[in-house]
Amino acid sequence: MRIENRTPFVAEATITIDPDGRESYLLVVKGTYDLGPPGQPPVVAEEQRSLVYADAYHGDPASSSILEAYDFAPSKPMTDIVVVGAAYAPRERAVTRTTVRLVVAGLIDKSIDVTGERLWERTLAGRVQPGEPRPFTRMPLTYERAFGGQDTTFSDASRHRFHRDNLVGCGLHANPDLDTILGTRVPNLAFAGHEQRHWNEIVPTAGFAFVCPHWTPRIGYAGTYDQAWMDQRYPFLPDDFDERYHQAAPGDQIVAEIKGGEGVLLQNMHPDGMQRFTLPKADLPVRFLFVDRSDMIVTPKLDTVVIWADEMKLSLVWRARVPVKGKLYALRAIVIGHCSQYWLSLQRSWKPYFKGVSKYVEWKSVR
């Protein structure tokens, strides 16, 4: 099987196993665009971002958040919209607070308040409260700076606490011992009206970036891996596996569909302040050609939009899945993009060559 890629994008195909154990061909196409001046349409980038085969983290996967999620999810029922970047002070003049905002016309309008570095301090009256924020010009929009984390300061491990929405954040305190609280970081990122003001307050995790697969809500969609699964389903996915597990965006950034043409606004995520652009419309037909000279035309679904705000880049990922017809080698080629009828007629007139009668019999059996 070969890929005939007639687009400027990168593409790769593999075999995936459906939840019911059946095999499917999975095609992933990834396109990268340059974001120009505000109001200008994105243009196809000369250098395309590579496909990602495993989640890439900011640091140690055990203690950091995802920088870029893997591209080979078997399916996504909806569309992820993710922003990777930082908050910038307006006009690059240091501030102690600012607000960043993501708007996707008619689908998303989300703001996060960003505050400079603060530590938990004790006042002269003995009250524990956040200290004064330090000025900043740039603040990474990572989950390490949002509410979350874990408190393992108790000597009794059964009393340890974990914030399952964000295991790498800061601000979670269960131990009232002030020695474990004073001098620790207060979250930099918060939704309006949900800033952490008390050391033991639980507030929502604020972020625009990828959510780790072992955090909630994603882990809740993974299914049940118990003895019944071992006895009845292994090595296939459990019956209660939910494909929403593959959705890697925050819940309020998962939308039903992106068609292209939607306006996008980023506020204070670039030194220039406000950025506006329109999501591109890509004409991306895909044709699966089989050894029996049949073919199948599919329209891949755009299910991942990643805005690289610092780099002023945009990545779009399309996905197509087609059930295996008979044997795996029944698929001869995948054509991405437009092709002439003459070229197709040449492909259909292809005459196979077999190394022996047995190979011919095998090929004949899938026709």
To the nearest whole number, what is the mean pLDDT of the chain? 91
What local confidence, expressed as pLDDT, does residue 349 receive?
63
Q: What share of the chain in percent tops pLDDT 70?
A: 93
Peptide bond into 217 cis (omega under 30): yes
Q: How far apart are CA 306 and CA 255, in angstroms?
A: 13
What does the pLDDT look like over 31-66, one tens digit per residue?
999 998 877 899 999 999 999 999 999 999 999 999
| 75 Cβ contact list (under 8 Å, min separation 6) | 243, 246, 319, 321
**Entry pTM:** 0.90
Position 343 pLDDT exceeds 80:
no
- State residue 283's pLDDT score: 87
* Residue in 255, 232, 238, 207 with CA at minimum distance from that of residue 100: 207
For the stretch 101-104, contacts whose Cβ atoms lie closer than 8 Å and that sit 24 or more positions apart, written own/partner, are: 101/265, 101/266, 101/267, 101/268, 102/208, 102/253, 102/264, 102/265, 102/266, 102/267, 102/269, 103/263, 103/264, 103/265, 103/267, 104/255, 104/262, 104/263, 104/264, 104/279
**What's residue 273's pLDDT?**
84
What would the mean pLDDT of 117-141 be, rounded to a whole number? Answer: 93
- What are the structure tokens assigned to 223, written together? 């299914």
State residue 289's pLDDT score.
86
d(CA 138, CA 302): 32
Average pLDDT of 242-249?
A: 96
Note the pLDDT of residue 311.
94
pLDDT tens for 247-266 read 999 999 999 999 899 999 99
Place of tokens 């329109």: 278
* Boundaries of every domain in the chain: 2-365
Q: What is the pLDDT of residue 364?
A: 66
Q: Between the CA of residue 205 and those of 22, 216, 254, 301, what are the distances in Å?
A: 38, 11, 16, 29
How far is it, in rounded angstroms, from Cα 325 to Cα 112? 48
When pLDDT is cut at 50, 70 and 90, the band that residue 339 belongs to is confident
The answer, yes or no, to whether residue 17 has pLDDT greater than 90, is: no
pLDDT of residue 37: 85
In this predicted model, what pLDDT tens digit does every residue of 258-295 receive, in sequence order? 989 999 999 999 998 889 999 999 889 999 888 887 88
pLDDT single digits (tens) 199-237: 999 999 999 999 999 999 999 999 999 999 999 998 889
